Amino acid sequence: MLGFLFRGLTAEPSRGAALFDALTAEARQPGWYVEGGVSDTLDGRFAVLSSLTALTLVRLETEGDEGQRISVALTERFIEVMESEHRELGLGDPSLGKTVRKLVGMLARRTELWRTVDEGNFASATRDSWVAVATRIGGVSSLCSSLQPSHSPL
């Protein structure tokens, strides 16, 4: 609604959009839901998308100023898409802001969780990131090996 006031907060909105599109495509892969045991619901899909976004934000923090610029663009795109999607679901203006703030807060908590993880606690952090939506902990645990942090450039 007030988007016209905040146009151009980042110099690179297309980079944030491109990265978010790639994360969305990954979050839609059936493996998260079939082999991984995450429930194929709005909550489950949000958990996967926000966890992947949080992991990406943490990774971008290691890239200095360039990573910071992309991180801001990605976060802005996340907010934009959450607002748009919830409008499509029928949320009106009175409750939309509160809902989007809640979703961004969930992303922030996941990002903080991944910032504090060391290799020994990776499986635990994965469970914590998806605890509200995992249909079986064994499924989430099996994903841990494929989610191990990578130190390669993006």
If you average pLDDT over residues 79-87, what whole number do you get? 83
Question: Has residue 116 been placed in a domain?
Answer: yes
- For the chain, helix (H) and strand (E) counts, in that order, are 6, 0
Question: Does residue 66 sit within a domain?
Answer: yes
Burial (CB count <10 Å: 0-12, 13-18, 19+), residue 123: middle
Q: Does residue 17 form part of some domain?
A: yes
How many domains does the structure of the chain reveal? 1
Is there a contact between 54 and 29 (Cβ–Cβ < 8 Å)? no
* 123/129 Cα distance (integer angstroms): 10
Q: What would the pLDDT profile of 106-132 be if each residue is shown by its tens digit?
A: 888 888 888 887 666 666 666 666 654
- Split at pLDDT 50, 70, 90, the class of 138 is very low
Handedness of CA 60, 62, 63, 65 (dihedral sign): positive
Q: Supply the pTM of this predicted model.
A: 0.71
Within a domain: 79:
yes
The pLDDT score that the predictor gives to residue 43 is 84
Rounded CA separation 96/113 (Å)? 26
The answer to whether position 6 is within a domain reads: no
Does a structural domain hold residue 41? Answer: yes
Three-state SS across 40-89?
A: CCHHHHHHHHHHHHHHHHHHHHHHHHHHHHHHHHHHHHHHHHHHHHHHHC
The domain in which residue 92 lies consists of 12-144
In a domain? residue 133: yes
Amino acid identity, residue 93? D
Residue 150 belongs to a domain: no
The tokens describing 34, both together, are: 């079939």
Name the percent of the chain lying above pLDDT 90.
Answer: 21
